[in-house]
Amino acid sequence: MTGDRNSSVCVLGTGLIGGSLLRAATAAGYRAWGYNRSAPGAQAARADGFDVESDIAAVLSRAAADDALIVLAVPMPAIDTVLADVKTFAPDCTLTDVVSVKEPVRVEVHRQELGAYYVGGHPMAGTAESGWAASSPDLFRDAAWAVGVDPGTRAEPWNRVARLALDCGAIVVPVLADEHDRAVARISHLPHVLAEALAVAGAAGGDLALGLAAGSFRDGTRVAATAPDLVRAICEPNAAALTEAIDDALRLLAAARDSLRDEGTLGELIDAGYSERDRYDTLRRWDITDIRPGDHDWLERLRDAGRQGGVIRSLD
């Protein structure tokens, strides 16, 4: 963490992501504190030495007094309620979030007239576990962290949010909210849906099949162990983009099924899948070094760079 300015962070929600952020920001030298809606949840974090309360008014009033960066780390269904509290107690604070969709959060933030200092965020990290107990200060180490570059975003809050992501060990990917949502539908939400389908179709083979299951089934169903309510909260707010991604998967699978049934071969799918997995394995991220937030056209230039695989690893 660089310097002392803007060095406080208020995390609303201390589950896996919010809790890990509280730990990581603290480790990076921020003054960081948090809110958990349940008293036992807050108590669990306090028992580990973190400053977490279940009194949202107190937590947010402190944020307002200390000019803290507020991080919304609650699931999408709770965002409107928490934003109403922010509006009441800390309407002038810089605001970001770590929710798995960006456009619905952005819309709600603007509906509640909190858009002036808002910059959307989404760290691409997680485990099948959830809750404070699963949180870790290293969760974001080398992870991509999407940071919004939607029109109207201001440079100062953007820098502050990007710096927090970097200080947590992540790599910043600049992205528009709706492009983010279409992308994560394919690489985060679709994997969840396919994992659930594989778990069901596999278990239909009974204990014999499950007893023979090895690495391909274990890995392919890993995220199906995520709590169902959390999966719904992650995927369902992105319904339009996820519907399109599932449609794509259905077309690919139906073509393979038809080819296998009629000609005994899985057709083009196998070579295509191998080739695209290789593309993923060999993806070269390049560093964005020549765009300074606040410069002319900086948002458009960051957006274009992000589309082409550009990332930010440090800020001056």
Q: Which two tokens stand for residue 312?
A: 């930010």
Q: Which two tokens stand for residue 234?
A: 């992650």
Q: Kindly state whether residue 124 participates in binding a second copy, applying the rule CB under 8 A.
A: yes
The dihedral sign for the CA sequence 172, 75, 53, 44: negative
Q: Which of 224, 288, 299, 312 binds a second copy (CB under 8 A)?
A: 224
Smallest CA-to-CA distance from 311 within 182, 144, 78 is with 144
Shortest distance, position 110 Cβ to a second copy, whole Å: 21
Question: Residues 6 or more apart from 255 whose CB is under 8 A from it?
Answer: 267, 268, 269
Identify which range of 34-42, 45-53, 107-115, 221-229 contacts a second copy by CB under 8 A: 221-229
Nearer to a second copy, 64 or 255 (CB): 255
- Rounded distance, CA 257 to CA 273, Å? 15
Beta bridge partners of 147: 121, 174
Question: Residues 6 or more apart from 48 whose CB is under 8 A from it?
Answer: 132
Q: Kindly state whether residue 116 participates in binding a second copy, applying the rule CB under 8 A.
A: no
Q: Which of 3, 49, 151, 211 binds a second copy (CB under 8 A)?
A: 211
Which amino acid type is present at position 137? Answer: P
For residues 234-263, which are near a second copy according to CB under 8 A? 235-236, 239, 242-243, 245-250, 252-254, 256-257, 260-261
Q: Which of 144, 165, 166, 172 binds a second copy (CB under 8 A)?
A: 144
Contact 182, 241 (CB under 8 A): yes
Nearer to a second copy, 3 or 264 (CB): 264
For residues 264-293, which are near a second copy according to CB under 8 A? 264-266, 269-274, 276-281, 283, 285
At 189 the three-state DSSP class reads helix
Shortest distance, position 296 Cβ to a second copy, whole Å: 23
For residues 151-210, which are near a second copy according to CB under 8 A? 173, 175, 179-180, 182-188, 190-210
Nearer to a second copy, 36 or 226 (CB): 226
Binding mask 48-67 toward a second copy (x if CB under 8 A, else -) reads --------------------
Pairing of strands 121-123, 144-148: antiparallel
Residues that bind a second copy (rule: CB under 8 A) add up to a total of 99
Q: Kindly state whether residue 146 participates in binding a second copy, applying the rule CB under 8 A.
A: yes
Shortest distance, position 129 Cβ to a second copy, whole Å: 12
At 130 the three-state DSSP class reads coil
Nearer to a second copy, 91 or 191 (CB): 191
Shortest distance, position 37 Cβ to a second copy, whole Å: 23
- Rounded distance, CA 187 to CA 88, Å? 36
Q: Kindly state whether residue 107 participates in binding a second copy, applying the rule CB under 8 A.
A: no
Report the 3 state secondary structure along 20-56: HHHHHHHHCCCEEEEECCCHHHHHHHHHCCCCEECCH
